[in-house]
Structure formats: structure tokens, C-alpha cells
A and B are shown apart, each in its own frame.
Chain A
Amino acid sequence: MEAFREHQGSVAALPYVNVDTDQIIPKQFLKRVERTGFGQFLFFNWRFLDDNRENPDFPLNQPHMKGASILISDHNFGCGSSREHAAWALKDYGFQVVIAPSFGDIFYNNSFKNGLLPLRMPETLVQSWLEKGQSHSFQLHVNLQEQTVTDESGAIHTFEIDPYWKNMLVYGLDEIGVTLQYEDYIRAYEKAE
């Protein structure tokens, strides 16, 4: 697992509800057998027009959102299909953090495993960032160790995170390697069955 401690970056605002993983990475790109190279296909059907030009109406194509590394979206982000390709695509495109009021459960788990930090933050705060992000570029500073997000005014917002996943991310641990240290317990369970 890739380590994550702190991150400062600019925001891309995607003010849609229920963004499902079919939208994040459409099915035509799931046939690859690698983990890499999915960023170019991120939000493909929204990002590009039929002739493969960029869709000028899609939020992420707005000049002030280019180069953003923090994605903010609305409720139930990443719902639907379990495809981890969604987390790979976001990460490969350059996102380090995704902020939303709520997430699809499987996507939420998948993100951690790829060093992409999913943050649940209060709806009113997210709404205000989504609105601001429509027309302005702005920065946020995320500190995982402290569990805080600091905005440009210096206001500090805290977030909750499972201590287990926090630890995994902060130290960039190999989860399977960690689990295999419990081999004795796994074997004991299998024996008892």
C-alpha cells in the first residue's frame, strides 16, 4: 500500500449525486489486465465528446480545475460496481484525495488500498466547497495524521477515519504481509473447522 501522510492541492468540484463506478471508469476499459494506465479513461463518457474532443461542459475540463489533486463530489460517490479500476483511474489521473458526504462501501475500501484517501465530510461543508469550486480554483491541505483539512482561510475541519486504515496508509503497509503474520490464527481456525 502506498503511504499517505499529508497532502496539499487544488480542488476539482463534481457537483453530482450518486456518481457510480460505471461513470468513473466505463466498462469498455475494464478489459486490461494491468493496474496502470487507467487515468486517460477516467470519466470517459462525460469527459469526452463523440469525436474524442474534450467536452467543454464537463466540470473537470474547466481550465481552473486542471491539475487538481483533490476531488470533491456529492452523496454516495463511487456507488455501484465493485471495480477497483475506479480507484486506479482516479489515482492515475492525479487525484490523491476524494471528499464527499458519503461513499459507496466497496469503493471506499478500494480507495484506501491504493493510497487514495476517501474523506467523509459534512454535507453543508461539502456543498459550500462544491459551489465555490464551480468558478474558482482553491487549495486544501489534508493532514491524515492529525485528521484535519485546512482551507485557504485557515479554518480547520476535522474528519473521522478508521484507525486501522489510517495506520495502514500512514505507514504504507502491505496489508497481505501484515495479515500473513496472523498465520497461526488462520491455521488454528482451519484446524478447528
Chain B
Amino acid sequence: MGKTIIEKIWDRHMVYQEEGKPDLMYIDLHLVHEVTSPQAFEGLRLAGRNVRRPDLTYATMDHNVPTKDRESITDIIAKKQMDVLVDNCKDFGVELAGLDSPNNGIVHIIGPELGLTQPGKTIVCGDSHTSTHGAFGALAFGIGTSEVEHVLAAQSLWQNRPQTMEVRIDGRLSPGVSAKDIILALIAKYGVNFGSGHVVEYRGEAIRGLTMEERMTICNMSIEGGARAGLISPDQVTFDYLEGRPNVEQGEAYQEQVEAWKELATDADATFDSTLVLDASDVKPMITWGTNPGQGVAIDGEVPSPEDGKTGAEQRGIQQSLDYMALTPGTKMTDISIEHVFLGSCTNARISDLREAAKYLKGKKVAPGVRALVVPGSMQVKRQAEDEGLAEVFIDAGFDWRAAGCSMCLGMNPDQVPEGERCASTSNRNFEGRQGKGARTHLMSPIMAAAAAVHGRFVDVREVEAQEHA
């Protein structure tokens, strides 16, 4: 019988297997950032251990970094955490894309950019959105700091074999609908728990039609569906994206590499432990109203009421969220106004996201009373956007144009949403307080966020586009 890509990667990385134990798996790439690594390096030091494979380890700083005045950081505790990473990388011989590096950026954006992320690899990082790298057909998952220390020391991890799940996205996307809407619709339909204990493979016609950047947006939010990881079998789109990047083979050797990668795709006769289906042609622009990513509706929908919950737990969850978000059941999504717009994060801050938003914004202005921020996912994206003239479009429209980082996705740096105010955000989490204490976050695609910036409220980009082009 055939194998899924998940099983193929798993089996190839087995270091040791014994009945009654998890498998000891080899890790091909370990990405490190400033927030979840200091205690791990300290642990190594205390035990007199080394980093086993600095050559398979790569560090960046992204969570804490200010997106303006990066040279004069005023938050001394954040500064210390960044300094500690610099010292740790120096002491243990790990390559670091620090603040002054042209490669600096959000860990999940720079891995693919630099060609570090490759099909068939096992990739870990002390960050739950590591699943992003699965878009390349890698098995990539987030780990805690103790596991970071473990991988630094042993380049391997004890892992239970996951259940496999097929998420099949059939059909084609309608105009104005994006990859972000697919993943938000999927989580709204099946809940924040659907992937629990599973590694998900996204398949189907709609997925095959997506670019690498769109695939990354989908895999990025696997954790929001509770999955351990999410991936997509590699194909020509993947190979084209990686060709010529640093850290991949060049020329003929690359073609050989590609032939080997082609073997990874899930076999036609492979079976999964479970299957979920979504028709992309039914998906509309999505937007979250609540405080978990599953609490989303289509833009032409309304804020639900607790009675809409199917279980007691769900009903309690809806009430909790309505209270925090200060929303009344039955309110039309298009009647909700906002004070902030955040275009950024590892979900939607790649060049294609900025292009989409800029295309919409060209010649338009941010509504009065709205503060809009665009934070490129990496310094490379920033330079490219400046070269293409996108930065100018954003600035002309009234957006603040910033340097790379996680920024307002989690507000560890000075970019925060004030208490009680509402933000249209292209990030992945709308948890209570995520963007600042008491901040109210609504998740959506880049073009929907751009449209919200211009109108000061949520709008259906499909209608707006139709009118404007009429």
C-alpha cells in the first residue's frame, strides 16, 4: 500500500524505535528566536553541553524587535533578551540574522526566503506557527523551550507517531477570495480543535492552484485548527520557488534534488486516518468576530448569538467572546467600525500580500480616525516592496511603513492596540489581549484589511471592487 508524505518523512527520520516508546526522530533544521531560547541555552550551559549541530541551527530576532528606531531600543528588558540571543549564538556558534542583517525578519518568513526550508525536511522551532514551513512538503512543528534545549543538545526529539488527516479543498477560489479565507473558513466550519493529535495534509484542486506564498498562509494556521503540523506535497510550484535561493543546490545538482523531492508526494493509493472536505468555490471573504480563530463568519454574515452554539461549551464560549468584543448578536459584520489596521505577521506579510493590499489601496486614502500600519515580514520583503513602489502606495494612502518583525501580531514591542479599540488584522490570533490588553482583534485577508482601512469599517471587497470597476 502507498504512503502519505507524512509517513514517508517520518520513516526517513527515524533514529531509534522501540515498542512502548515514542520514536526518536532526527531534526534537519532548527530555527531559533529570542523569546523561547534563552532558558534553553542556559540549560545547556548549566549541564556543560554543546549545540550538537550549529550548522543545522539558524537564529533570528523577530518577536521583540521595534519596527521603527531599531537602533535605539528603549525597552531594556526586550533589549536584554535580544542581547542574550546575540551572546548565545556567538558562544555556541549559531548563525544569527540579527537586527543589522539584511536577512533579518520573522522566523517563518525568512526560512523559506533563504531556501533553508526544503521538501522532506523535519523542521522545528520554539514557535507554534512553525507549521508554515509545511507548505514546502516539510514536516514542521512548534516545540516548547525544553524541547528547544533537547534539539540543541541532541538534534533529535522523542515523538509519538501522529495520526494523519487529509483536508481536501476542492473547487476554485472566486475573485476577491484568498488563501486566508480558505483557512479561516475551514477553522470556522470544523472548529479550533479539528486537527488535534494529527498532522494535516492539505490537498485538492484549490491547493494545487495556489502559489507558494498562499500555501504558506494556509499551513501557517494549522495550529489554529489544533493540528500538530500541516503540510502540502511538493510540486513544480514548490521547485520553482526554491530554485536559485541560497542554501539550496544550484544548477544540475538542483535538478537531481528535485527528482528526489518528487518521490515525497503522497502516493495515489495511500490512506489517511481521517478526511475533511471544503469546497473553495463556496468560500467568501471571511472575518472573525470573536476571541478564537474558529469564531469567524463570511463578510455578508452577522454576529452570532449564544443560542447558535451546538454544545454547552460552545455557547459559553460565544458569550465569553461577545462580552470581550463588545458585540451584539445580529449585528451585520459590515456595520462594525474599526480604529486600527495591521497588515503584517507570518501569516500575511510576504510580498504577494503587500502587492494585493497595495493594488487595492492605489489612489485611495485611509479613513479619518483610522491608524494603519504595514509591517513587512522580513527586511528582504521590505526592500522588495520599496523597489516595486509598493511602499510609496502605502505611505500615500496614509499607512505607516515599518521595518520587519512580529510587531502588532502580538504586541511584545511598542506596536499595540489600545484597550477597547478594534483592529482589522491580517495575523492569525484574535485571543483576548493578543494585540494589547483589552484590544479587540478581527482576523481577515490583506485585501479585506486594506478595504477596512479605507472605509473605516468592514466591507465586502467583492462588492466594493464590482462598484469601483463598474
List chain A positions with a Cβ less than 8 A from chain B: 15-18, 20, 22-23, 26-28, 30-35, 45, 74-76, 79-84, 87, 102, 104-107, 109-110, 113-114, 162-164, 174-177, 179-180, 182, 185-186, 189-190
A175 to B150, CA, bound (A): 8
Query: CB < 8 Å: which of B21, B26, B142, B433 contacts A106?
Result: B142
Known A-B contacts: A22-B429, A176-B154, A186-B26. Give 4 more (CB < 8 A): A31-B412, A84-B145, A164-B20, A164-B21
What 1/0 mask marks residues of chain B from 124 to 166 whose CB sits below 8 Å from any chain A CB? 0011100000000000001111110110011110101000000
Cross-chain contact A31 with B64 (CB below 8 angstroms): yes
A184 to B20, CA, bound (A): 20
Which residue from chain B places its CB closest to the CB of A187 in the assembled complex?
Answer: B15
Query: CB < 8 Å: which of B126, B153, B431, B433 contacts A82?
Result: B126
Cross-chain contact B42 with A33 (CB below 8 angstroms): yes
Greatest chain B CB density within 10 A among A23, A82, A174 is at: A82
The 7 A-B residue pairs with the shortest CB-CB distance in the complex, in nearest-first order: A110-B144, A113-B146, A33-B38, A84-B144, A84-B145, A82-B142, A31-B77
Cross-chain contact A162 with B160 (CB below 8 angstroms): yes
Cross-chain contact B226 with A22 (CB below 8 angstroms): no
A26 to B436, CA, bound (A): 9
> Is B298 part of the binding interface, using a Cβ–Cβ cutoff of 8 Å?
no
A-B contact pairs, 15 of them (CB 8 A): A18-B292, A23-B431, A30-B412, A33-B38, A33-B84, A34-B42, A76-B192, A80-B429, A83-B35, A84-B126, A84-B144, A107-B144, A163-B21, A176-B154, A189-B15
Residues on the A chain within 8 Å of B77, using CB: 31-32
Total number of residue pairs linking A and B with CB closer than 8 Å: 160
- What's the least CB distance linking A87 to chain B, in Å? 7
With A74-B313, A186-B155 in contact, do A23 and B81 touch (Cβ < 8 Å)?
no
With A26-B433, A179-B154, A189-B15 in contact, do A106 and B144 touch (Cβ < 8 Å)?
yes
A15 to B171, CA, bound (A): 40
A30 to B126, CA, bound (A): 13
Residues on the B chain within 8 Å of A190, using CB: 26, 155
A159 to B77, CA, bound (A): 42
Cross-chain contact B158 with A164 (CB below 8 angstroms): yes
Residues on the A chain within 8 Å of B434, using CB: 22, 27
With A18-B292, A27-B411, A75-B193 in contact, do A162 and B22 touch (Cβ < 8 Å)?
yes
Residues on the B chain within 8 Å of A74, using CB: 313, 316
State how many residues of chain B have any CB contact under 8 Å with chain A: 61
Cross-chain contact A27 with B412 (CB below 8 angstroms): yes
- What's the least CB distance linking B20 to chain A, in Å? 6
A22 to B223, CA, bound (A): 14
> Is B115 part of the binding interface, using a Cβ–Cβ cutoff of 8 Å?
no
Which residue from chain A places its CB closest to the CB of B80 in the assembled complex?
Answer: A33
Which residue from chain B places its CB closest to the CB of A16 in the assembled complex?
Answer: B320
Query: CB < 8 Å: which of A15, A84, A114 contacts B316?
Result: A15
Residues on the B chain within 8 Å of A110, using CB: 144-147
Cross-chain contact B431 with A185 (CB below 8 angstroms): no
Residues on the B chain within 8 Å of A23, using CB: 431-433
Query: CB < 8 Å: which of A20, A34, A35, A176 contacts B49?
Result: A176
List chain B positions with a Cβ less than 8 A from chain A: 15-16, 20-22, 24, 26, 35-36, 38-39, 42, 47, 49, 63-64, 75, 77-78, 80-81, 84, 126-128, 142-147, 149-150, 153-156, 158, 160, 192-193, 196-197, 223, 226, 228, 292, 313-314, 316-317, 320, 410-412, 429, 431-434, 437
Which residue from chain A places its CB closest to the CB of B227 in the assembled complex?
Answer: A105
Cross-chain contact B226 with A106 (CB below 8 angstroms): no
Cross-chain contact A17 with B316 (CB below 8 angstroms): yes
Cross-chain contact B84 with A164 (CB below 8 angstroms): no
A71 to B145, CA, bound (A): 22
A80 to B226, CA, bound (A): 8
- What's the least CB distance linking B288 to chain A, in Å? 13
Which residue from chain B places its CB closest to the CB of A180 in the assembled complex?
Answer: B154
Which residue from chain A places its CB closest to the CB of B156 in the assembled complex?
Answer: A186
With A22-B431, A35-B39, A74-B313 in contact, do A189 and B146 touch (Cβ < 8 Å)?
no
A18 to B294, CA, bound (A): 11
A75 to B228, CA, bound (A): 17
With A16-B320, A18-B292, A182-B16 in contact, do A84 and B431 touch (Cβ < 8 Å)?
no
A87 to B63, CA, bound (A): 20
A56 to B161, CA, bound (A): 44
Cross-chain contact B81 with A33 (CB below 8 angstroms): yes
Residues on the A chain within 8 Å of B433, using CB: 22-23, 26, 45
With A80-B431, A162-B22 in contact, do A176 and B126 touch (Cβ < 8 Å)?
no
Cross-chain contact A20 with B431 (CB below 8 angstroms): yes
Residues on the B chain within 8 Å of A186, using CB: 15, 24, 26, 154-156
A17 to B39, CA, bound (A): 30
